[in-house]
Amino acid sequence: MGINEFNGKHFSGPSMFAQRSLIAELEESIRTGTPERRVETLRRVTDLFMNNADRYGEAHIGLFDDVLCRLIQGIETQALAELSSRLAPVDNAPIEAIRQLARDDEIAVAGPVLTQATGLTTGDLVEIASAKGQGHLLAISARRNVDEAVTDVLLQRGEREVRHTLAKNGGARFSEAGFVKLIKNAQSDDGLAEKVGVRPDLPMKLRADLLKQATDVVRSRLLATAPPGTRDQIQQLLNRIARDIGQGFESSRDFNKAIKTVSRMQEQGILDESALLSFVKAKSFEGLVAALAALSTAPVDTVSSIIQNVKTEALLLVCKAAGLKWSSVHAIRHSGLMGGDISNAEFNAEFEEAKVEYQALSQDTAQRTLRFWKVRATAGKQGAPAGNATA
């Protein structure tokens, strides 16, 4: 078939006559032809478009769109998958045909255009991501550019492979809520933590949150694989975490008696959340610190520093590591044993807002973070470089 003709008819321009004539002939072919003939017709029309795609104007492309949309109806999956693969990389591909292919339930058909077609809008992608299966979501997550509105839906509905593909996609853009969701998923997925941690667009506060919950192996890999600017930020954040939490300050209180009491309770198997609350009710600071340290396996001086310095985030971590309910955390906060002003409105608002975060935090993540603080604090006292601590 020549470039400017189809079934012997000249195709020199988008006249109304040419459109009616071509479409009428195609509809006749579809109505009376065999499935094989319809597939052959689809291929010939696709060839005609592909051979001169860069030369066609808007009107010509519109005509091809009408023709392809008619031909797509009732065509077998294999032929549609072939059409999708051929049209997907073409920037000016007929858009309605692309949209039909993108919404096909078969991923072999939808996948190529979902990943490559530039004509699909954010609205198209949000609609498809909201309704289709994991294969469609995965194809979208691999696009060269993915807007925040799309990644929000993908993270809401997508499973592990979708999250990983998005995290390593430099062209994906995330809202703050999207990054928060990634970091929460990374609590139990070291591979995801590594991919998210090296992203240059990850806000510093959220990078700090990720580093606090990550394993020592992940932190080491992040330092080894992050680009220079991001690596410097990671190192600074690790140093700050160690300085703010790990070092603390030496308390002048004598914890020896309380530690012995708590040790005996552990040996007798009666050290639990109820026993810890008995120290709170008795207003025993030393008893509370010793019990909380034992239940969370954190050093006594670290727990003492947390309680006296009124660090909300650190308090939540050590209480979660100890396996305490939120009601017990609340009781500790309002016991009068913590440092600072109980009437501090800003702190109290921050504390109450932390309830949801506390309930979502896993005990394993909290314990892992405390172990990290302990190692880094020990390394700092020994004069070791701040970024070289390992588990």
Sign, CA dihedral 375-377-378-384, equals positive
pLDDT value of residue 29: 65
Q: Residue length, the chain?
A: 391
Q: Which two tokens stand for residue 179?
A: 């990054």
How far apart, in whole angstroms, are the C-alpha atoms of residue 168 and residue 182? 12
pLDDT value of residue 378: 57
More confident residue, 219 or 328: 328
- How many C-beta atoms surround the C-beta of residue 46 within 10 A? 20
Task: For the chain, give percent helix, strand, coil, nearest 5.
Answer: 70, 0, 30
How far apart, in whole angstroms, are the C-alpha atoms of residue 372 and residue 132? 41
Highest-pLDDT range among 55-69, 160-174, 323-337, 377-391 = 160-174
pLDDT value of residue 23: 57
pLDDT-based confidence at residue 264 (cuts at 50, 70, 90): very high
Q: Is 249 helix (H, G, I), strand (E, B) or coil?
A: coil
For tokens 């597939």, name the residue: 39
- Name, in order, each residue with C-beta under 8 angstroms of 1's C-beta and a sequence gap of 6 or more: 7, 44, 47, 48
pLDDT value of residue 19: 45
| pLDDT over 50 at 307, yes or no | yes
User: Residue 80's closest CA among 89, 68, 92?
Assistant: 68
- pTM (global) more than 0.85: no
**C-alpha separations of 295 from 43, 83, 136, 246 in Å:** 70, 63, 46, 18
pLDDT-based confidence at residue 21 (cuts at 50, 70, 90): low
pLDDT-based confidence at residue 14 (cuts at 50, 70, 90): very low
Strands (E), the chain: 5-6, 9-10
Sign, CA dihedral 285-291-297-300, equals positive
- CB 123 within 8 Å of CB 147: no
pLDDT tens per residue, range 277-288: 999 988 888 999
- Name, in order, each residue with C-beta under 8 angstroms of 75's C-beta and a sequence gap of 6 or more: 38, 39, 42, 83
Q: What is the b/e burial string over 237-260, where b = at least 16 CB atoms within 10 angstroms of the residue's CB? A: bbeebbeebbbbeebeeebeebbe
Q: Which of 9-13, 300-304, 384-388 has the lowest mean pLDDT?
A: 384-388
| pLDDT over 70 at 350, yes or no | no
Max Cα–Cα distance, the chain, nearest Å = 102
- Name, in order, each residue with C-beta under 8 angstroms of 176's C-beta and a sequence gap of 6 or more: 203, 206
pLDDT-based confidence at residue 154 (cuts at 50, 70, 90): very high
Across residues 211-237, what is the average pLDDT? 84
pLDDT-based confidence at residue 27 (cuts at 50, 70, 90): low
pLDDT-based confidence at residue 228 (cuts at 50, 70, 90): confident
Across residues 357-367, what is the average pLDDT? 86
